[in-house]
Structure 1
Amino acid sequence: MNWPPHRNEERIWNPHQRQGSRADRTLERITVAIPPRIGKLDYDPTGSVARTHEAALIAIARLEAGFGEHLAPLADFLLRSESVASSKIEHIDAGWRAFGKAVAGGKASDEARSQLAAVKALIAMVDAAGAGTIQLDDLLGAHRLLMAVDYYTSRDAGQLRDVQNWIGGSDYTPINAAHIPPPPELVPELIADLLVFVNRDDLPILAQAAIAHAQFESIHPFTDGNGRIGRALISTVLRRRGLTRRVTVPLASVMLADTGRYFMHLNRFRTGDVNAFVEYLAIGAIHASEAAQDSALALADLPRRWRDIVRPRTNSADETLLAALLETPILNADNAQRIAGTTDASTYRALGRLTDAGILELLSDSNRNRIWAATDVLAEMDALSAAIGRRTIEHL
């Protein structure tokens, strides 16, 4: 179908200071890409795009109905998986051990704390979606959570940008940039228009999520964090429209598997090729949902396998902790004791036995905050991302 392309406009470049190469220092004019207003535009996929879109809806619904309602820990698992993969696209990868420390409140690397912040931002957005319409304050609040962990970026957290930004090219100017978003004075009205589109109920659900994401990335409304908030917007639309109630479709792993293809489709969207991006996201949703079902089955089987290894006594601290590990795969001493419902000494002995059995791994042995993780659960996050990546590369 016909979809309006971005409009290119030449603007004067007024840098605050002259830095970089001679070309940077002498740059006087730039060409910005101004997205069309889409708040009231209609979109109806046809042909192969419509068929793929329908198949994706079925795959997501099957994941939600088959596991979202009956395997409660899957919700947190998929949400964390999506946020971690989204961070990896931005080259933020702490590894699951460091991430586990951050989750449990231990001393963690900047990257681990950034990944945890992405989880909190996604939670905030999907929770807001479940409560009703998506407002600008929801986006700003999620962005504030995302950027708060970094001193330098926290200054611009939770507010729309008031400077010109760009993607790629030089560190100092937009010269040779892959995309130069609209100037800052246009951002508020473009975001307001996008929110009109996001809150409609008369559009194909996954297509609405895909277009909303691509439009958000094209506006690039923040000085930093646009990719992670924009990808969280996909899950937000799916939640608001009721397609998902508990699960998060791990679409960021699709994008992570081939970032070149992902960015290519975003660029094609800017030329007016909306169908290609909708179909790309729909195919990705099928692969992500099917791989997530496999992970759900693997997770559901873990408690039985753990019990076979440990053979805990009935009503023991070991048995109680094992039963809770899917829902709470990262433990410190306080929440382990709360779950076990027994003394410090009994809890520590149970944690020691589960660690010796290879079910738990001690991530931090700090005297003030010892942290354990169920290795099988956290390793499954990497396995899920890898499985989605294989499916993506084979079929996209």
Structure 2
Amino acid sequence: MTTWPEHQTEIRPWNPRHRQGSRADHTLDSIEVSIPPRIAGLAYEPVGAVARAHEAAVIAVARLEAGHGQYLAPLSDFLLRSESVASSKIEHIDAGWRAFGKAIGGGKASDEARSQLAAVQALIALVDAARTAPITAEDLLGAHRLLMAPDYYAAKDSGTFRDVQNWIGGSDYTPIDALYVPPPPELVPALMDDLLAFARRTDLPILAQAAIAHAQFESIHPFVDGNGRIGRALISAILRRRGLTDRVTVPMASVMLADTSRYFAQLTSYRVGNADEFVEYLALAAVHSSEAAAESARNLATLPHRWRDIARPRAGSSDETLLAHLLDRPILNIDSAHRITGTTEASTYRALDRLTAAGVLEVLAESKRHRVWAAVDVIAELDALSAAIGKRSAADVRAIRQAVPARTPGT
């Protein structure tokens, strides 16, 4: 078992800017804040069951990356979207796949759909930055600006570390009865420098580094809003930076979404020094999500043949050309479809109509100016992937509980 320092606590005066809330809120004059340890130079080496889970995770991710080379272009976008949407759902932002597809296609979208699309863009930006250089504060701040952009009020304070005290749970007005109170804002810059120094290291087990960095980020809670989504994107960025992934995004947020209580409990456990538990949790999440993603890759690979059987396009037709690109571009508007077909706009519209009539495409947005089509089978597979990951995760929890002997009274 690896020894890991627990968070310390300090009592700080509470001077609210506005007097709101209950009488208890009004009379609160001090709060207990959490002070995460500095971790930049700490050693970590998993042993026993944690080491075995870590090794299994590295193998599973490597297999996903290497085993589906011919399908990695469509699979890459597919997994990016799956990870971002699941991460948003943890924050109770769920537009549904059809509304999300409408946002991707440029149709009129709900606030939730635009927020989910922004999460995709933030994840892409952070992972792309990690591909070529160590992760920096500006990378995180830039991803945060993208994430917050759809919300006018949140966007005004985006792209900067917080300068106010925040908290999780409890009252809307003060940290009274909060589940967790992160460090005071004046400590955030130094703690983030320390975290990024930890993330730059190359002498740590990869999944363990990503797990600890995520838990530490969530403990610092450096932003007013968006901490969960940026913190989960950091996991993918570290895997990319360390070279474990090159094109795929491992959809681990679906494991967290399947049992959010367990996920939050694991973060709490990390704060009392149980880094091993969180590393094992994330390693098993990587195993389950990689295996489920590999199954989705196999399912996606069968779709072009199925579509051709259904639509029976003429050789050299616009229909055939669209079908050949549909895995790469499952969400289409007339502009993107027209670029694919290379024919007239009228010919492209007719091809889209024929594929819709055949059941290959579904119209997500009916607006004449912003019509959006989607490959319904790809959308269905996105839902299937999330469900499959949830089932694998739940089965893992049951197996763990069954392996632990029942406690008798007094023990």
For residues 45-60 of structure 1, what are the structure 2 equivalents within 5 Å? Answer: 45-60=46-61
CA–CA distance in 1 between the matches of 2:68 and 2:24?
56
Structure 1 residues 211-222: aligned runs within 5 Å:
211-222=212-223
Aligned to 1:351: 352
1:27 to partner: Cα distance = 0.5
Rounded to whole Å, the distance in 2 between the matches of 1:157 and 1:69 is 39
Tell me the CA shift for residue 390 of structure 1. 0.6
Deviations 1:251-310 (A, max 9, x none): 000000000000000000000000000000001110000000000001011000001111
Contact 2:72 2:248 in 1 (8 A): no
Task: Tell me the distance in 1 between the aligned counterparts of 2:133 and 2:297.
Answer: 28
Following the alignment from structure 1 to structure 2, what is the Cα–Cα distance between the partners of residues 33 and 67? 44
Is 1:3 paired with 2:1? no
Other-structure match for 2:80 = 79
Q: Could you tell me how far apart the structure 2 residues matched to 1:70 and 1:382 are?
A: 19
Q: Which residue of 2 aligns with 1:151?
A: 152
Q: Structure 2 counterpart of 1:227, which letter?
A: G
Superposed CA deviations along residues 304-326 of structure 1, whole A, max 9, x for unmatched, are 00011111111110100001110
The aligned amino acid for 2:162 is R
Shift of 1:70: 4.3
| TM-fit CA distance, 1:341 | 1.2
Is 1:88 equivalent to 2:89 in the alignment? yes
**Are residue 384 (structure 1) and residue 385 (structure 2) matched?**
yes
Q: Do the aligned partners of 1:359 and 1:376 also contact (CA within 8 Å) in 2?
A: yes
Deviation at 1:152, TM superposition (A): 1.4
8 Å contact kept, 1:251–1:288: yes
Q: Is the 8 A contact 1:68 1:74 kept in 2?
A: no
* TM-score normalized by the length of structure 1: 0.99
Mapping 1:205-354, distance limit 5 Å = 205-354=206-355
List gaps (5 residues or longer) in structure 1: none
Aligned-residue offset at 1:104: 1.3
Aligned to 1:362: 363
Q: Alpha-carbon deviation of 1:370?
A: 1.0
Amino acid of the structure 2 residue aligned with 1:314: A
Q: Would you say the 8 A contact 2:207–2:239 is kept in 1?
A: yes
- Give distance in 2, aligned partners of 1:74 and 1:31: 46
Aligned alpha-carbon RMSD (Å): 0.7
Distance 2:34 2:355 in 1: 56
TM-score, normalising length: structure 2: 0.95
Q: Secondary structure at 2:364's aligned position in 1?
A: strand
**Deviation of the 1:71 alpha carbon:** 3.0
Q: CA separation in 2, counterparts of 1:139 and 1:384?
A: 28
Distance (Å, rounded) in 2 between the aligned partners of 1:225 and 1:321: 37
Tell me by how many angstroms 1:68 deviates.
4.7
| Partner Cα separation in structure 1 for residue 47 and residue 67 of structure 2 | 28
CA deviations on 1:91-127 (whole Å, 9 max, x unpaired) are: 0000111101111111100000000000000000000
Identity of aligned residues (%): 72
The structural deviation recorded for 1:380 is 1.1
Q: What is the deviation of 1:69?
A: 5.8
CA contact (8 A) 1:68 1:247 kept: no
- Alignment-mate amino acid for residue 65 of structure 1: A
CA distance in structure 2 between the aligned counterparts of 1:320 and 1:363, rounded to whole angstroms: 21
For 1:357 and 1:88, locate their aligned partners in 2 and report how far apart those are by CA, in whole Å.
Answer: 32
Instruction: Check the 8 A contact 2:210/2:234 in 1, yes or no.
Output: yes
CA distance in 2, matches of 1:118, 1:305: 32
SS in 2 for 1:362: strand
Task: Give secondary structure in 2 for the equivalent of 1:312.
Answer: coil
Distance in 1 of aligned mates of 2:220 and 2:271: 11
Structure 2 counterpart SS, 1:373: strand
Per the alignment, residue 409 of structure 2 pairs with none
Cα distance in structure 1, aligned partners of 2:4 and 2:113: 40
Are residues 1:179 and 2:180 paired? yes
Task: Output the amino acid matched with 1:351.
Answer: L
Q: Distance in 1 between matches of 2:333 and 2:71?
A: 27
The aligned residue for residue 193 of structure 2 is 192
Which letter maps to 1:300? A
- How much has 1:189 moved relative to structure 2? 0.2
The 4+ residue runs of structure 1 with deviation greater than 6 A are none
Deviation of 1:230 after TM superposition, in Å, equals 0.1
Return the letter of the residue paired with 1:44: E
**Following TM superposition, by how much is the alpha carbon of 1:136 offset from its aligned partner in structure 2, in angstroms?**
0.5
Aligned amino acid, residue 194 of structure 2: D
Deviation digits for residues 137-171 of structure 1, max 9, x if unmatched? 00000000000110111111000000000001110
Partner of 1:165: 166
Q: Residue 35 of structure 1 aligns with which residue?
A: 36
Which residue in the other structure is 2:100 paired with? 99
Structure 1 residue aligned with 2:407: none
> Which amino acid is 1:302 matched to?
L
Verify the 8 A CA contact 1:68 1:75 in the aligned structure 2.
Answer: no
- SS across alignment from 1:244: coil
What SS does structure 1 have at the residue aligned with 2:68?
helix
Give the SS at the match of 1:72: helix
Distance 2:260 2:126 in 1: 24
* Count of residues in Structure 1 that have an aligned counterpart in Structure 2: 396
The amino acid across from 1:391 in the alignment is R
Range that drifts further, 263-272 or 331-340: 331-340
Q: Distance in 2 between matches of 1:365 and 1:254?
A: 34
Query: The residue matched to 2:34 in structure 1 has which SS?
Result: strand
Distance 1:145 1:37 in 2: 28
Q: Secondary structure at the match of 1:71?
A: helix
* CA deviation after TM superposition for structure 1 residue 23, in Å: 0.8
- 1:24 and 2:32 aligned: no
SS of 1:188's partner is helix
Stretches of structure 2 that go unaligned for 5 or more consecutive residues are: 398-411
3-state secondary structure, aligned to 2:362: strand
The one-letter amino acid paired with 2:8 is R
